[in-house]
Amino acid sequence: MSSEHEITAAKKLDALYEFEREPVTEDKLLPGRHFAGMFAGEHVAGTEFTIGALFVAWGFSAFDVFVGLAIGNLMAVLTWTFICAPIAVRTRLTLYWYLRKIAGPGTTLVYNVWNAFLFCILAGCMITVSASAVRIPFGIPPNTEWYPTDYRFVLVVLGVGSVVVLLAILGFKRLAQFASVCSPWMAIMFLAGGMVMLPWLAAQKLAGGSISSWGDYWKLANDFIWTGVPAEGGEKASFWQVAAFAWVCNLAMHGGLSDMAIFRYAKSHWYGLFSAFGMFIGHYMAWVFAGTMGAVTVLMLKAGAGVLPASVSADTAANLARDGLTLADSTIAYIDPGAMAFTALGVAGILAVIIAGWTTSNPTLYRAGLAMQAITPGWPRWAVTLAVGTLTTVVACFPFVFTGLLNFVGLYGLLLVPIGAIVFTEHWIFPMIGLTQLWCEKKKLFISWPALISWFAGLGFALALNHWPTLVGWFSNLGVNLPFSEFEGVNLFYLFIPTSLVSMVLYILLASMMGAREKFPETEEEAAARLKAEQPPAPVAASPGPDADAVLWLARIVALACLAVCLGWPIWIFLQGGDGFDERFLAFRKWLIVPTVIYFIFGTIWAVKRDRAS
C-alpha cells in the first residue's frame, strides 16, 4: 500500500512540468499580474532590511539615497525590458538550455554548476534572514557569527528551508500566486515601519517636536538617518556607488539573463517593465524605510527609549557586551533584521521578515533548480530542486554571506554577467555582422572555447581593474614597472560594464576564427521557427472573466479592507505627532498582527479562486 502511495506521489510531482528543456507553448503564457506579483514579492525581501541599514552605515547622504537609487533602479528596469525579456520571449527557453545551444554541453556544465552554487548561497542568505525573525518568539539569541551558535537556530533554519523548497518545487505559477498575495502587504509593512517611527525621532530631535513640512523630514533624514558619515570610521561611499549598486544588485538576473526562466512565460518583452514593481517598491521604498527603521532603532537603544521591546534591548546589550560595549555605544551593525522589524511592527514585523525571506528565496531556488536541470537530463525538475534545496538549507545554517551581503551581491552578478553578454552577442549581434547563430550546436561541439575563454578573460580583466594597486606592487617586486601606477582600481560595483564589453569583443573575434563564419544548411527546427514567425499571429481567444462568485468578492473586499487598515493606521500615528506617541505606538505594535492574519486568510482565498475563475 505504501509503495502505491509513493508511486502516486512521484507521478504527481512529475506532473509539475515547467518546460525545462524546450520552448514554452503559447497556451502556457501568463498574464501581466503574475509578473507584477512575482517581482514585487521577490524584490521586497528580508534582505531589504539589511541593505537599507547598510546604506546608513556606509555613510551615504539623503540625496545619494533618494536620487542615486532612482537612477540605478531605472537602469535595472530598462535592462530587464530591452536585454533580458526580448531574448526570453523570442526563444521561450531558459538561459540554461539556450546556452547549451550556443556554447555546448561542456561550457553549460561549468556555468550551470557555478550558477546554481551562487544561487544556493543567495537563497540560503534569504532563509537565514527569515530565521533571524523566527528566533525572537522562541527566545533564541541572534546568530552573529558565520557559523551556528545555537542548535535551536539550526532547527528554525531547517523548518523555514522546508517551506521554501516545497514552494520552489510547485513551480513558477504557484510562486507567482504566493507572491501576489504577499507583495502588497509586505510593501505596506516597510512603509508602515518607517513612518511609525518618525514621530519619535521628530519629538527627540526637532525644535517643534513634530514633522510639519518636507523641510523638517529632510533635516531629520540628513542629520540623523543618512548623515553622510560612515560608521566606525570607514571610508565614505559616493553617490555613483548607490546608483551602481541599485543597477547591479540583480545583475545576474537581468544582465546575466537568468530571468529568461521567468520571461519565457511572458506574452511580450514589454512585460519587462513589470520589474519596476520590484525595483521601485522593494529596492527604493523598502530600502529607504528600512534605513529609517534601523537608524531610529539605534537612537532608541542609545536613549533607552521606553517603547523598545525588552528582548531587543537585552539581545543588543548582550552582543555589545561581548565587545566590551554598552547600549550607549549601539550601532546598526549590532541589530539583525528580525530585531529591527519587531521594534517597529511587533509580531507582524516578525512575519514580514519571514515572508520576505520566503518570497525571495523561492524564485532564487527555482532558478538554481533549473540550472542543475539542464545538466541532469535524467532527473525530473522536482527531484533536482529538492536536492538543490537541501544544499541551500544547509548553507543557511552557516550565515557567512549575511555578514558581507553587499559585496556578495556585486560579486555574484559580476561572475555571471559575461555569459549574459556572450548570449546577447550571439543572439542579436551575430546576425548583424554575418556570423552564424548556434554555430557550436551545428558543429556538434562539446565545448565552445570562444565562450569559455571570453568568460574567464572578462573576469580576469575585472580582477585586474579591481586590484590594480596590488598587481603594481607584485610586479614591482619582480622588477617590472606597470603603467598607470597611480591608478587606484575600479570599484566592484562598476566592473560589470568593462567586463561585459571585453567578453563581447573577444567572443566575436574568437568565434569568427573558430567556426562562426561557416554557413550551415537550415535545420528542421530553424525552418519550423521561421515559418512560425512568418505566419500572422493566431487570434487569441477571449478568456472567461472571473466568475461572479459571492465568496470571491467577499474575500476581495475583506482583504482590501485589512490592507487599508495596515496602511492607514501608521499614517494616522505619523500625522498625530509626538504627543501621546508612546501609547499609540505600543497599541499599533501589539495589534497590527490582527488585520495581517485576516488579510492573509481572505487574500489567499481570493487569489486561489480568482486564478481558477480566470
Q: Are 259 and 241 in contact (CB under 8 A)?
A: no
Question: For the chain (length 614 residues), average pLDDT per consecutive 10?
Answer: 43 44 81 83 76 85 95 96 95 89 91 84 80 76 72 85 76 63 88 94 88 92 89 73 92 92 91 93 92 91 85 81 82 80 91 78 71 68 79 80 70 91 95 93 92 95 89 82 81 91 97 90 62 52 54 89 96 90 94 95 83 62
Cβ count within 10 A of residue 576: 13
pLDDT at 427: 94
* Identity of residue 22: E
Q: Are 246 and 76 in contact (CB under 8 A)?
A: yes
Say what the pLDDT of residue 56 is: 87
Q: Where are the domains of the chain?
A: 31-138+148-305+318-395, 401-520
State the chain's maximal CA–CA distance in angstroms.
82
Measured between alpha carbons, how far is 565 from 59 in angstroms, rounded to an integer?
A: 35
d(CA 27, CA 15): 17
Backbone dihedral angles phi then psi of residue 374, each to the nearest 5 degrees: -70, -15
Question: What does the DSSP 8-state code read for residue 235?
Answer: P
Cβ(363)–Cβ(175) below 8 Å: yes
CATH of domain 31-138+148-305+318-395: 1.10.4160.10
CA–CA separation, 47 and 190 (whole Å): 12
Q: What is the pTM of this model?
A: 0.83
Q: How many CA atoms lie within 13 A of 475 on its CB side?
A: 13
Burial (CB count <10 Å: 0-12, 13-18, 19+), residue 333: middle
pLDDT of residue 6: 40
The whole-number pLDDT of residue 12 equals: 43
| DSSP β-bridge partners for residue 538 | none
Q: What is the pLDDT of residue 15?
A: 43
pLDDT for res 402: 61
The b-or-e profile of 529-545 (16+ CB within 10 A means b, else e) is eeeeeeeeeeeeeeeee
Neighbours of 223 (CB within 10 A): 14
The angle subtended at Cα 199 by Cα 196 and Cα 200, nearest 5°, is: 100
Q: Say whether 335 sits in a helix, a strand or coil.
A: coil
**CA angle, residues 13, 14, 16, in degrees to nearest 5:** 70
- Residue 121 grid coordinates: 548561497
Q: What pLDDT, on a 0 to 100 scale, did the predictor assign at position 147? A: 75
Pairwise CA distance, residues 246 & 126, whole Å: 18
Q: Which residue type does 368 have? A: A
Which residues fall within 8 angstroms of residue 589, CB to CB, at 6 or more apart?
Answer: 344, 345, 346
